[in-house]
Amino acid sequence: MGLITPFKMETKGLDIKIRPGNANDGKKMYTLTKEVIQEEDGLIMTVSDFVMTEEQQKIKNEAFLSHPDTLNLIAEHHDKIVGILTIEPEILKKTSHRAILGIIVQKNYRSKGIGKALIMAALNWVLHEGRYEKVELEVLASNKHAISLYHQLGFENEGMRYNAIKNSHTSYDHLVQMGVFTNKLAHTLHRF
């Protein structure tokens, strides 16, 4: 797994630590993931889709630790995990130059700069590792705040999957596909 040097930040009165995840984080990561999914706001996955157990989360963390092309970052506030970011490689040879970014932040900790700090740390890692040429993500079109942050960090809209998410019998959301090329990251990250 990729590593970063852990760092602390103060944001909006909160002391936050950003660090690589480890196998011992499985239970706390599981708890946060389940909590965020239960909000059913801004994510594609629903509670019934989340079938991972705490033990499976631990095993996934261990697999991340043994894979050199992955990154798993944790945001902590007083030893409580409040944010998780992952970078995972595409698995096919012809798409292996691309990485997939996933991120969640606990509801009470959003709009406090934590997501931005996690993403910037991950993009710095991508830039300095030199493994990937592009970082991609998908986000619900209704999640305007997240889309604005991604644009601010250099991501560009690359496509739209219309009515890709069915919220109810008559309610749909679009899925925005976004990406940033690593050759543009140095310029983007120097702005901050």
The pLDDT value given to residue 1: 66
**pTM, to two decimals:** 0.92
User: Could you tell me where the beta strands, DSSP code E, fall in 51-124?
Assistant: 71-77, 80-89, 98-105
Is 123's pLDDT higher than 90? Answer: yes
> What pLDDT is recorded for position 41?
73
Among 29-33, 73-77, 121-125, which is the least confidently predicted range?
29-33
Residue 101 tokens read as: 């970014």
User: By mean pLDDT, which of 15-24, 53-62, 179-188 is the weakest?
Assistant: 53-62
Q: Is residue 157 exposed (0-12), middle (13-18) or buried (19+ Cβ within 10 Å)?
A: middle
Predicted confidence band at 93 (pLDDT cuts at 50, 70, 90)?
A: very high
Q: Give the Cα separation of 126 and 154 in Å (integer).
A: 14
- Listed by start position, the domains of the chain span 7-136
Smallest Cα–Cα separation from 29: which of 39, 20, 40? 20
- Tell whether the model's pLDDT for residue 117 goes beyond 70: yes
- CATH top class, domain 7-136: alpha beta
Mean pLDDT across 19-24? 88
Q: Which residues contact 122 (CB under 8 A, 6 or more apart)?
A: 71, 73, 85, 87, 101, 135
